Structure 1
Amino acid sequence: MSHSQSGLSNISQVLLRTPHLLSGQCPLLVNMSEDGFINEYLALNPKSKISCYNTNFIDYSAISSRYKENVHCVFDSQYQSKTLHDLVIITFPKSKAELPFTLAMIANSLAPNATILMVGEKKGGIQSSKKVVIDYIDNYQKIDSARHCMLFAGSIAEQARSTPFDLASWYKQYQLNINNISLTIASLPGVFSQKQLDIGTELLLQNLPQKMSGKVLDFGCGAGVISCFIGKTHPDCQLSLLDVNALALTSAMKTLEINELTGQVFASNSLSSVTEKYQHIVSNPPFHQGIKTHYHATEQFLSGIKANMLPKANITIVANSFLRYQPIMEQYIGSTEQLLCKKGFLIYKTQC
């Protein structure tokens, strides 16, 4: 491995072990992170016109800011292209349900003879990908296994290429009834608690401030459950919903629409896109990113959020009981009380 490759992830290193498979005139990279792989790719294929499709705003921002000139970057819940790609490299998603959705979506943007490369960490479940891709990829074969990762290759199934993609058909909907408030939740594959309400959010909804009005920020909104509950319970609130994931943001917009509510829905890397001040901040903050447990985004949020709180504003969050958020909230926001400890979750509330 060259010195320039030293910062590459295991996934990128495995891909670069088979350079003969990487040649493409207009390759599409799906949900790759920015670790220098694109530089290595362009060194091998200097004339390639690369497109990057990311559903994660952090990865999209890193790639688009580093490769302004020579890479076409897309952050959206749907990828569409007039150009037909002759190669696609897909990072195996942390949610298996997202994979058929991704393949169905990109199928119309691939040339008939396009090579599909699927790469991922073994502990992420890529070994069982053959069952998941059966309707979408033909001739799916394992190519390499190294650095705790696996690489598969195949070609797009003609049936998948000839089927128009309809985003609406991929929503799962379910009904909720909490404190006599009825909601319909719409969620795309891979979005947190796609099929039912999770315990943490349910406990949070039962422990929100009794009176709420003014601007509300829902941090890590997922499919928009918390905001819609607040919107129905406290119609005077103005809702803002933030997430890092494009599929979550589109799901939240759909959930607001179904429940006849309005809100400002936007992408943000922690607080990077937050410019307003709020009366109430609510969150079931994310702490799983990929296979490893990460708290960084939430700790960044809790240590920086006071600048976006109005006088006498409050923040209510739910967290797994093993996560020690109370000292961070005490240090950066103010006196913090534990409202509840139940079923492995804690509810914290801080008044500014």
Structure 2
Amino acid sequence: MNMRSGIAAYDTWQMGRVTVMDAVVAVASKPGVMAHGGADAPAGMLAEAVAARLPSAVGVRSLHLGSGNGLVPAVAQAVGFAPLAFDRYSANAEATKRSLLASAPQGEHDGQPSPAVFHAACVNPHVEAGSCELATIRIPTDKLGVQLAVVEAFRALAVGGRCLLAGANDEGAKPAARLLEQLFGAARLEDQHSGCRMLSAVKTREAPGDEALTHIRWLDGDAFTEQPVVAGGTSFVLATRPGVFSWEHLDEASGILADLMRVDDGESVLDLGCGAGVLGVVAARLTPTGSVCMLDADADAIRCAQRTARLAECSNVDVRASDVCRAVAERTFDVVVSNPPFHLGKGTDLAIPRAFIEQAHARLHRGGRLYLVANRTLPYERLIAEVFGEVRTAHDGRRFKVIGGVRRA
């Protein structure tokens, strides 16, 4: 395999034309973007519903939570709305921005400000209360994330505004429907097929049906849970938020890797897919005169990792939002450590860990080391062998393995 061609394939954007009723839009995609290589039925339901709802005036604001590849906000833009789009994952946020720019009416994007796309998990403080006439929610897979999205949509909508919510049944669409009814007072099933459903609700008054839902502490973007942990022989406080990987406890696999990775003082370390910052803080403690860079695609993971590093008093840490290694494309490191994601929504996508392995190799100095932890059933040895020319195994346990390689050239 040509490694450079693999990296290029992951980083190459594709544009497709999609027709939804009378709206024709361009949708951007690449590996790592939601629904890449296929269609997302819930997003399709939302797009059709938006296309059928022409606004009473051009420029009416619409809010889109979980914007994915940008299909739904692009359709909203095509029928006259001024969309505000949010996604917590950097590749999705970039796809949405590209979709909106490519779908803008001919000439309208020239000299105009960039689309209102936010790489963020929280709407507040970016959107004023009562400022939107339409809100769409492509539900996330975690229960608290759904709850927060419904509450934020209610807050952003003006009285008379409509909320549309869609997701797969096995992602929690039925409980989400109950949440919608609790907050708005009533909800209606608009569509269901392919194991998915879409519901709608209208905001009929300023006060929500269930006041308790609006007092969830996580609506404050500065609210974190802080838990003491021990990893890699050092203790520190881990700051997390809902939706961040393993946010309620120290992930077993990361704990195993923290105990086994070798980092010498003075070395530079890249923590690729850092989550809340466990591996990065352990590395920073191991190389006090060196440096650690933590990267993650999840906007809230970045904020958690930054706080974890501050609480641990690690001044040699730099935390950045990044789609794999894009944010450090010009840098190289002595060590790369990673507990890479392999899920995209509910599915498994090996294009993501392949990109992690290829880009880790590209970011290592000659002689630099990769340490990667994974579920032992995942076929990462083949991927590492293709890129590094060898596989080194540091741990082969009942559930997890720690494997890697050394860059030779």
Cα offset for 1:38?
A: 3.9
Q: Equivalent of 1:195, from 242, 245, 248?
A: 248
Counterpart position of 2:158: 111
Q: Equivalent of 1:158, from 207, 217, 222?
A: 207
Q: Equivalent of 1:4, from 3, 7, 19?
A: 19
Bigger Cα displacement from structure 2, 292-301 vs 6-15: 6-15
Q: Tell me, which stretches of 5 or more residues in structure 2 are unaligned?
A: 1-16, 25-37, 102-108
Cα offset for 1:266?
A: 1.6
Mapped contact 1:176–1:185 kept (Cα < 8 A): yes
The one-character-per-residue Cα deviations of 1:194-224 (angstroms, maximum 9, x if unpaired) are 1101111111111111535322111111111
> How many positions carry a matched residue from both structures?
348
Separation of aligned partners in 1, 2:348 and 2:318 = 29
Counterpart position of 1:314: 369
Distance 1:103 1:178, change over 3 A: same
Mapped contact 2:76–2:82 kept (Cα < 8 A): no
Q: Tell me, which stretches of 5 or more residues in structure 1 are unaligned?
A: none
Counterpart position of 2:120: 76
User: TM-score with structure 2 length normalisation?
Assistant: 0.77
The one-character-per-residue Cα deviations of 1:135-164 (angstroms, maximum 9, x if unpaired) are 644323322212321111224572569869
Separation of aligned partners in 1, 2:51 and 2:185 = 20
Q: Equivalent of 1:122, from 145, 164, 169?
A: 169
CA RMSD after TM alignment? 2.7
Counterpart position of 1:28: 63
Distance 1:255 1:137, change over 3 A: farther
Counterpart position of 2:225: 172
Counterpart position of 1:48: 81
The one-character-per-residue Cα deviations of 1:299-336 (angstroms, maximum 9, x if unpaired) are 01212332211122111010111111112212212432
1:253-272 maps to which residues of 2 (within 5 A)? 253-262=306-315, 263-272=317-326
Bigger Cα displacement from structure 2, 91-100 vs 16-25: 16-25
| Counterpart AA for 2:372 | I
Separation of aligned partners in 2, 1:210 and 1:22 = 57
Separation of aligned partners in 2, 1:181 and 1:257 = 15
| Counterpart AA for 2:141 | K
Counterpart position of 1:89: 136
Q: Secondary structure at the match of 1:206?
A: helix
Q: Secondary structure at the match of 2:326?
A: coil
Distance 1:152 1:270, change over 3 A: same
Cα offset for 1:3?
A: 7.2
Q: Equivalent of 1:142, from 153, 173, 189?
A: 189
Separation of aligned partners in 1, 2:40 and 2:233 = 49
| Counterpart AA for 2:207 | E
Separation of aligned partners in 1, 2:303 and 2:387 = 32
Residue 251 (1) aligns with residue 304 (2): yes
> Percent same amino acid at aligned positions?
19
Separation of aligned partners in 2, 1:343 and 1:134 = 44
Mapped contact 1:27–1:51 kept (Cα < 8 A): yes
| Counterpart AA for 1:29 | H
Q: Secondary structure at the match of 1:196?
A: coil
Q: Equivalent of 1:206, from 259, 266, 291?
A: 259
Distance 1:285 1:20, change over 3 A: closer
Mapped contact 1:8–1:35 kept (Cα < 8 A): no
Cα offset for 1:132?
A: 4.5
User: TM-score with structure 1 length normalisation?
Assistant: 0.89
Separation of aligned partners in 2, 1:326 and 1:178 = 25
Distance 1:226 1:166, change over 3 A: same
Distance 1:178 1:48, change over 3 A: closer
Mapped contact 2:62–2:76 kept (Cα < 8 A): no
Cα offset for 1:130?
A: 3.7
Distance 1:136 1:279, change over 3 A: farther
Mapped contact 2:74–2:99 kept (Cα < 8 A): no
Separation of aligned partners in 2, 1:122 and 1:313 = 45
Mapped contact 1:220–1:243 kept (Cα < 8 A): yes
Separation of aligned partners in 1, 2:148 and 2:307 = 17
Q: Secondary structure at the match of 2:166?
A: strand
Bigger Cα displacement from structure 2, 185-194 vs 210-219: 210-219
| Counterpart AA for 1:346 | K
Separation of aligned partners in 2, 1:332 and 1:341 = 21
Mapped contact 1:181–1:233 kept (Cα < 8 A): no
Separation of aligned partners in 2, 1:138 and 1:132 = 10
Separation of aligned partners in 2, 1:222 and 1:3 = 34
Q: Equivalent of 2:351, from 271, 276, 296?
A: 296
Counterpart position of 2:92: 59
Q: Secondary structure at the match of 2:186?
A: strand
Separation of aligned partners in 2, 1:13 and 1:133 = 20
Q: Secondary structure at the match of 1:168?
A: coil
